[in-house]
């Protein structure tokens, strides 16, 4: 398949939340460029602003400083071609698996029969064929993860943003879902940004691993991961070595002195 | 549906009917009063009065169904909008808080003066009762909708209408039907009082007229008809609730 991922640029992007009483700086002077088709993992201390970064890329938040560009233009509102899988997966319990998978298309005004056709194909792609009429509560945790992924696939996204999508499943299932994510990414060539707490997941799924500092988030390391996706990568010595490198960078990001009260 | 559970359910209802009828029969025999006829006498009177009873039943059914529709149709959109707007909610919550506990039935005399003796005062009164019950239930249900569901629709580029269509409305469906199912009892009680007090139509009037004529079997036929109205409406809402909320 042709390379058709989106190009994301953060140019000196910053974000301050203000609610009249308090000012909270979530992000400071963040500059990153993710080239089309790249898979990037974001890792950093809890509450450091990784999710905020994802929401900026999704167009759900606007930066208060600098710019966030997707394919060269600022993202003022959610793009048609961006799919975001939130941490809780965003499945609607009152919709069947098929309706959940089709939701993005329905909202984008695709006709119902076509939306359901595409959704059914996406369900099959993630191994959920036969579960079209199941309710989310009837699906296991891993199946729900697949369903959330199917929704993104049905939309034919060129940018897939994931906020710790695999945090709720056990280790073995997690690895099989990581394999699925990797396969789909290689097959489709979309750009992806994955927020994760797991160092192994970051090293397995990120061609680049961006390590964030604690809040306000800044980039402390941008680690290239050239062997990502090669056969046997997860079991190689280099994989373990890179995990250690990320772990060291992460430890640095926790060091005091990085915190700054918003001015 | 599976056959087993269905049969068991029918069996359960059959047992309930037998239980109630037996209790009624024993009570009637024990009291030995013309005010409480036995089921056998009632069936006989019911059959005799069926022709007279049907128009009264239809009038009452019409009033209560129209009122349920009006009350719900007004309450649901108002509850949805109020609960999702902090300003409107702050404005209307105290009003609602003060008005909700007032038994609407005490407004009947006023409505009779203003609207006469026909359908209008009854429908307005029952609609008011239903309106507040549904309003409160739906308002609470809207506030219980997980924020993450709204966010997920927004992340997909959904408009405010999409948030209603895909989240707020389906999420509050169970509350609407639960409040209607429970509200049917109150609605029929209010209907009875309204019809008994004013006018010359409806089952409430039929029952009180038979009472004043000291025609107890006829009175009892009316009571059974009113009970039937309640049971049928309750069963309809129960069925709708189950059908529309299978996801739960």
A135 contacts in chain B (CB < 8 Å): 246-247
Q: Give the pLDDT score at B205.
A: 95
Distance separating alpha carbons of residues B188 and A169, to the nearest angstrom: 51
A103-134 per-position pLDDT tens digit: 999 998 888 899 999 999 999 988 888 998 99
- CA-nearest residue to A89 within chain B is B152
Q: Give the pLDDT score at A140.
A: 87
Q: Token pair for residue B4?
A: 């087993």
Q: Give the pLDDT score at B150.
A: 86
Q: Are A139 and A133 in contact (CB under 8 A)?
A: no
Give me the average pLDDT of each 10-residue run along chain B (248 residues).
71 88 91 85 86 92 95 92 84 85 90 89 93 91 85 85 90 90 92 91 93 88 92 90 83
Residues 62 through 121 of chain A touching chain B, CB cutoff 8 Å: 77-80, 84, 86, 88-96, 103-104, 106-108
- CA-nearest residue to A60 within chain B is B155
Among A94, A99, A139, the strongest candidate for a mutation testing the B interface, having the largest count of B CBs within 10 A, is A94
Q: Is A70 helix (H, G, I), strand (E, B) or coil?
A: strand
Distance separating alpha carbons of residues B79 and A149, to the nearest angstrom: 34
**What would the DSSP string read from start to end of A133-150?**
T--GGGS-HHHHHHHHHH
Q: How far is CA B173 from CA A159, B161, B164, B168, B241, in A?
A: 34, 16, 12, 9, 8
The residue among A24, A16, A77, A42 whose CA lies nearest residue A202 is A42
Q: Are A241 and A68 in contact (CB under 8 A)?
A: no
Distance (Å) from the alpha carbon of A83 to chain B's nearest alpha carbon:
7
Q: Give the pLDDT score at B100.
A: 87
Question: A-B interface: how many C-beta pairs under 8 angstroms?
Answer: 62
- CA-nearest residue to A79 within chain B is B157
A13-52 per-position pLDDT tens digit: 888 888 777 888 888 888 889 889 889 999 888 777 888 8
How much is the average pLDDT of A72-77?
83
Residues 3 through 62 of chain B touching chain A, CB cutoff 8 Å: none
Distance separating alpha carbons of residues A235 and A231, to the nearest angstrom: 9
Distance separating alpha carbons of residues A103 and A183, to the nearest angstrom: 24
Distance separating alpha carbons of residues B213 and B198, to the nearest angstrom: 17
The topology under which CATH files domain A1-81+159-263 is Rossmann fold (3.40.50)
Judged by a CB distance cut-off of 8 A, whether residue A138 touches chain B is no
pTM above 0.95, yes or no: no
Is it the case that residue A259 has pLDDT exceeding 60?
Answer: no
Q: Give the pLDDT score at A255.
A: 61
Q: Is A62 exposed, middle or buried (0-12, 13-18, 19+ CB in 10 A)?
A: middle
Distance separating alpha carbons of residues A195 and A202, to the nearest angstrom: 8
Q: Token pair for residue A37?
A: 């088709």
Q: Are A97 and A133 in contact (CB under 8 A)?
A: yes
Is it the case that residue A78 has pLDDT exceeding 50?
Answer: yes
Minimum-distance CB partner of B148 among A86, A107, A136: A86
How much is the average pLDDT of A212-220?
80
State whether B171 and A94 contact (CB < 8 Å).
yes
Can you tell me the ipTM of this complex? 0.77
Minimum-distance CB partner of A60 among B148, B155, B248: B155
* Kind plus residue range of the DSSP H or E element containing A255: none
The residue among A1, A68, A84, A81 whose CA lies nearest residue A30 is A68
Q: What backbone torsions phi and psi does residue A209 show, to the nearest 5 degrees?
A: -120, 115
Q: DSSP label at A63?
A: -
Distance (Å) from the alpha carbon of B192 to chain A's nearest alpha carbon:
38
A234-255 per-position pLDDT tens digit: 888 888 888 888 888 888 776 6
Residues 150 through 169 of chain A touching chain B, CB cutoff 8 Å: 155
**What would the DSSP string read from start to end of chain B?**
--HHHHHHHHHHHHHHHHHHHHHHHHHHHHH--TTS--HHHHHHHHHHHHHHHHHHHHHHHHHHHHHHHHHHHHHHHHHHHHHH-HHHHHHHHHHHHHHTTS-GGGGHHHHHHHH-SSHHHHHHHHHHHHHHHHHHHHHHHHHTS-HHHHHHHHHTT--HHHHIIIIIHHHHHHHHHHHHHHHHHHHHHHHHHHHHHS-S-HHHHHHHHHHHTT-HHHHHHHHHHHHHHHHHHHHHHHHHHHHHTTT-
* Kind plus residue range of the DSSP H or E element containing A6: none
What do you get for the CA distance between the two ends of chain B, in Å? 17
Q: Token pair for residue A96?
A: 């069947």
């Amino acid at each position: 398949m042709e390379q058709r991922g989106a190009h994301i640029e953060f140019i000196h992007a910053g974000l301050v939340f203000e609610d009249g009483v308090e000012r909270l700086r979530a992000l400071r002077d963040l500059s990153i460029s993710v080239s089309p088709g790249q898979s990037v993992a974001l890792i950093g201390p809890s509450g450091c602003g990784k999710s905020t970064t994802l929401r900026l890329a999704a167009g759900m938040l606007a930066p208060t400083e600098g710019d966030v560009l997707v394919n060269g233009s600022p993202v003022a509102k959610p793009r048609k071609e961006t799919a975001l899988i939130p941490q809780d997966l965003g499945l609607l319990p009152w919709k069947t698996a098929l309706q959940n998978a089709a939701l993005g298309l329905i909202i984008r005004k695709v006709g119902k029969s076509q939306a359901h056709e595409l959704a059914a194909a996406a369900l099959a792609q993630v191994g959920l064929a036969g579960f079209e009429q199941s309710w989310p509560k009837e699906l296991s945790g891993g199946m729900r993860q697949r369903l959330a992924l199917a929704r993104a696939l049905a939309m034919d996204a060129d940018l897939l943003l994931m906020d710790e999508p695999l945090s709720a499943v056990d280790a073995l299932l997690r690895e099989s879902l990581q394999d699925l994510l990797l396969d789909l990414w290689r097959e489709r060539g979309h750009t992806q940004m994955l927020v994760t707490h797991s160092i192994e997941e970051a090293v397995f799924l990120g061609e680049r691993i961006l390590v964030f500092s604690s809040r306000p988030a800044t980039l402390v390391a941008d680690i290239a991961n050239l062997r990502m996706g090669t056969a046997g990568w997860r079991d190689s010595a280099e994989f373990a070595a890179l995990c250690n490198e990320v772990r060291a960078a992460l430890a640095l990001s926790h060091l005091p002195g990085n915190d700054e009260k918003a001015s | 549906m599976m056959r087993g559970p269905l049969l068991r359910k029918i069996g359960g209802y059959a047992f309930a009917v037998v239980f109630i009828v037996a209790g009624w029969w024993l009570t009637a025999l024990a009291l030995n009063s013309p005010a409480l006829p036995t089921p056998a006498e009632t069936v006989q009177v019911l059959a005799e009065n069926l022709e007279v009873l049907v128009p009264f039943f239809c009038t009452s059914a019409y009033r209560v169904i129209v009122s349920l529709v009006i009350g719900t149709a007004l309450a649901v959109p108002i509850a949805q909008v109020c609960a999702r707007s902090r300003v409107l909610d702050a404005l209307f919550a105290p009003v609602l808080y003060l008005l909700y506990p007032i038994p609407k039935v005490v407004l009947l005399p006023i409505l009779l003066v203003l609207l006469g003796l026909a359908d209008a005062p009854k429908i307005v009164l029952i609609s008011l009762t239903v309106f507040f019950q549904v309003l409160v239930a739906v308002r609470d249900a809207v506030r219980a909708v997980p924020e993450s569901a709204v966010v997920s629709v927004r992340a997909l580029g959904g408009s405010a209408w999409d948030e209603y269509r895909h989240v707020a409305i389906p999420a509050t469906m169970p509350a609407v039907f639960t409040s209607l199912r429970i509200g049917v009892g109150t609605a029929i009680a209010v209907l009875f009082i309204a019809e008994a007090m004013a006018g010359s139509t409806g089952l409430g009037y039929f029952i009180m007229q038979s009472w004043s004529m000291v025609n107890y079997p006829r009175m009892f036929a009316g009571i059974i008809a009113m009970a039937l109205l309640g049971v049928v409406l309750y069963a309809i809402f129960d069925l709708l609730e189950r059908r529309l909320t299978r996801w739960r």
